[in-house]
Amino acid sequence: MGLGFKRGDRIGIWSTNNIEWLLLQMATARVGIILVNINPAYRINELEYALKCSEVNCLFTIPHFRSSHYSGMLQELLPQLNADSKVLESKAFAQLQRVVLYDPQEPMHTETPAAGFTSWQEVIHTAATITPEELDGATAQLDCDDVINIQYTSGTTGFPKAVMLTHHNILNNAWFSAQAMHFSEKDRLVVPVPFYHCFGMVLANLLCFSVGACVVIASEHFDAGKVLQAVEEQKCTAIHGVPTMFIAALEHPDFRHYDLSSLRTGIMAGAPCPPELMKRVINDLHCREILIGYGETEASPLTHLTTRDDSFERRIHTVGHNLPHQEVKIVSSQSGQTLALGEVGEICFRGYHIMRGYYGQPENTRKAIDEAGWLHSGDLGTMDADGYVKITGRLKEMIIRGGENIYPREIEDCLFTHPKIAAVAVFGVPDEFYGEEVACWIELHRGETATAGEIIDFCKDNMARFKIPKYIRFVETFPMTVTGKVQKFKMREEMEQHPGK
């Protein structure tokens, strides 16, 4: 407010996880400013798109992290930062007025590489010009349906879309998730997932704040060793993560040396969670109440969650049932008609949690949310008589081989039971005869070796022949997003570029 920003303005945050990120999240919400989450892995062209797409008025960022030199990229994008004025004037970025630089490694945040950057301390000092009455007056004008956050979808093809979320969307989603976890002020959650993502900002930060629990930031960016160390030192009772993060923790060479007995619960989400991995998390990581979550950024993000009281079978083979005050249905991807229980179709959501839309993109909003208010997920799944949903795959990832519909998730879950396999990704590649063939990339447990023939023999004993992968590649790592989601489109491109597969 001291800098002149007000309700409805947009402040971007381009940073790894730190305390300042949390402070900015709370400060913007208090006065009705829209926080725009920007992926810290973005490079110049992606940052330029994000700033323009959301018409950001002010950007907060850190100097650098690893190979990303944020201040340098900004100076290249905005030469005006080398001038003396703190208030920017740029024809290319007409809405952008300031760039605030802070360094989480330097408590006083006093260093700036160029005169045009505003320092953290300068921002803090402007607070003296705002009276408590003015602050309370600004808060009193807010409405629960105001858009308060913009998050970008992953965007596996083309540029990502800017999802608009309200107070009502994300606060309720955090609260009901906390209740499902039986969370209280006695809990301590270690957060390996990035704050810029819904998983971190809503299901970690807001979830903890809603019940007074403790947020433990193990590291700026995911580091399995530091997460395990934080659990032991801080006696954490909960841990969140996508499946690849749990795999990295379980496969860490020093895993057995850490005391993880304080763990009780957490949420595994963001990607399909193999049943065998769930068993390891429950038994080896001591997370006896670990829950499987499912949803998407456009749904604030959780739509489904298992409970600690569910049967073991349901906890490892389903994503649970919808959270309170939410609707879900399964429809035919061809006709759009609601399907009978047990049939595979596209999962759709409706309720308080559905986004306001994509910022500045009404046509894309209409494609995602139909006239009756249903958000179409693009995911395939089934629902049983009790409302429990099982995910079978992505609509776009379904493999059609010689007229047979093949769901990668089914093959992945089967392969994950192989004692040598640590992680697996299954996807389709073009084939002149069948239309598509099944391919898979496999990451083995540390110290293990295997052959393609060995894997195929295992498949022959456990699945129909038309589902058996034709192409098998052993790799050390998978291409992933910053949030730990496997990028199958990159694997597919790699396989297509090398005909020998």
pLDDT in tens, 323-346: 999 999 999 988 999 999 999 999
Q: Can you give the pLDDT at residue 109?
A: 60
Q: How many CB atoms lie within 10 A of CB 260?
A: 17
Q: Please count the residues of the chain.
A: 501
Give domain limits for the chain.
Answer: 10-142, 162-394, 399-497
What would the DSSP string read from start to end of 260-301? Answer: -TT--B-EE-SS---HHHHHHHHHTS--TT-EEEEE-GGGSS
Res. 432: pLDDT tops 50: yes
Res. 397: pLDDT tops 50: yes
Q: Can you give the pLDDT at residue 436?
A: 84
| Most confident option among 149-158, 381-390, 424-433 | 381-390
Q: Can you give the pLDDT at residue 483?
A: 74
**Confidence grade of residue 156 (pLDDT, cut at 50, 70, 90):** very low
Res. 149: pLDDT tops 80: yes
Same fold, 10-142 and 162-394: yes
Amino acid at 41: A
Mean pLDDT is lowest, of 108-112, 381-385, 442-446, 491-495, for: 108-112
Q: What is the pTM of this model?
A: 0.84
pLDDT in tens, 74-125: 999 999 998 889 999 999 999 999 999 999 887 666 555 688 999 999 999 9
Of 416, 401, 429, nearest to 462 by C-alpha is: 416
What CATH code would you report for 10-142? 3.40.50
Q: Please give the CATH architecture assigned to the domain spanning 162-394.
A: 3-Layer(aba) Sandwich (3.40)
Q: Can you give the pLDDT at residue 500?
A: 56
Strand partners, 357: 164
Q: Can you give the pLDDT at residue 107?
A: 62
Q: Can you give the pLDDT at residue 241?
A: 94
* Nearest-angstrom CA–CA distance, 170 and 178: 12
* % of the chain residues with pLDDT over 90: 78
Q: Can you give the pLDDT at residue 232?
A: 98
Q: Which two tokens stand for residue 476?
A: 């050390």
Mean pLDDT is lowest, of 51-55, 65-69, 171-175, 292-296, for: 65-69
| Pairing verdict, β 188-190 and 238-239 | parallel
Are the C-beta atoms of residues 43 and 51 closer than 8 Å to each other? no
The number of CA neighbours under 13 Å toward the Cβ of 252 is 20
Q: Can you give the pLDDT at residue 244?
A: 84
Q: Can you give the pLDDT at residue 499?
A: 55
Mean pLDDT is lowest, of 306-310, 325-329, 389-393, for: 389-393
Q: Give CA separation, 132 vs 27, 128, 138, 193, 328, in Å.
A: 14, 10, 10, 35, 44
Residue 80: left if φ>0, alpha if ψ -120 to 50, beta else—which one?
A: alpha
* Nearest-angstrom CA–CA distance, 394 and 373: 21
**Confidence grade of residue 375 (pLDDT, cut at 50, 70, 90):** very high
Res. 403: pLDDT tops 80: no
Considering the chain, what is the average pLDDT of its residues?
92
Give me the helix-helix angle, 224-234 and 243-250, nearest 10°.
80
SS3 call for 314: helix
Domain 399-497: CATH class, spelled out:
alpha beta
Q: Can you give the pLDDT at residue 157?
A: 44
**Confidence grade of residue 182 (pLDDT, cut at 50, 70, 90):** very high
**Confidence grade of residue 474 (pLDDT, cut at 50, 70, 90):** very high
Q: Give CA separation, 379 vs 333, 351, 394, 448, in Å.
A: 10, 18, 4, 34
Element housing 120 (H / E)? helix 120-126
Phi, psi angle pair for 43, to nearest 5°: -100, -175
**Confidence grade of residue 316 (pLDDT, cut at 50, 70, 90):** confident
* Nearest-angstrom CA–CA distance, 301 and 167: 13
Per-residue pLDDT, averaged over 359-383, amounts to 94
What residues have CB less than 8 Å from 64, skipping those under 6 apart? 70, 71, 72
Element housing 357 (H / E)? strand 357-358
Are the C-beta atoms of residues 281 and 251 closer than 8 Å to each other? no
Per-residue pLDDT, averaged over 236-253, amounts to 93
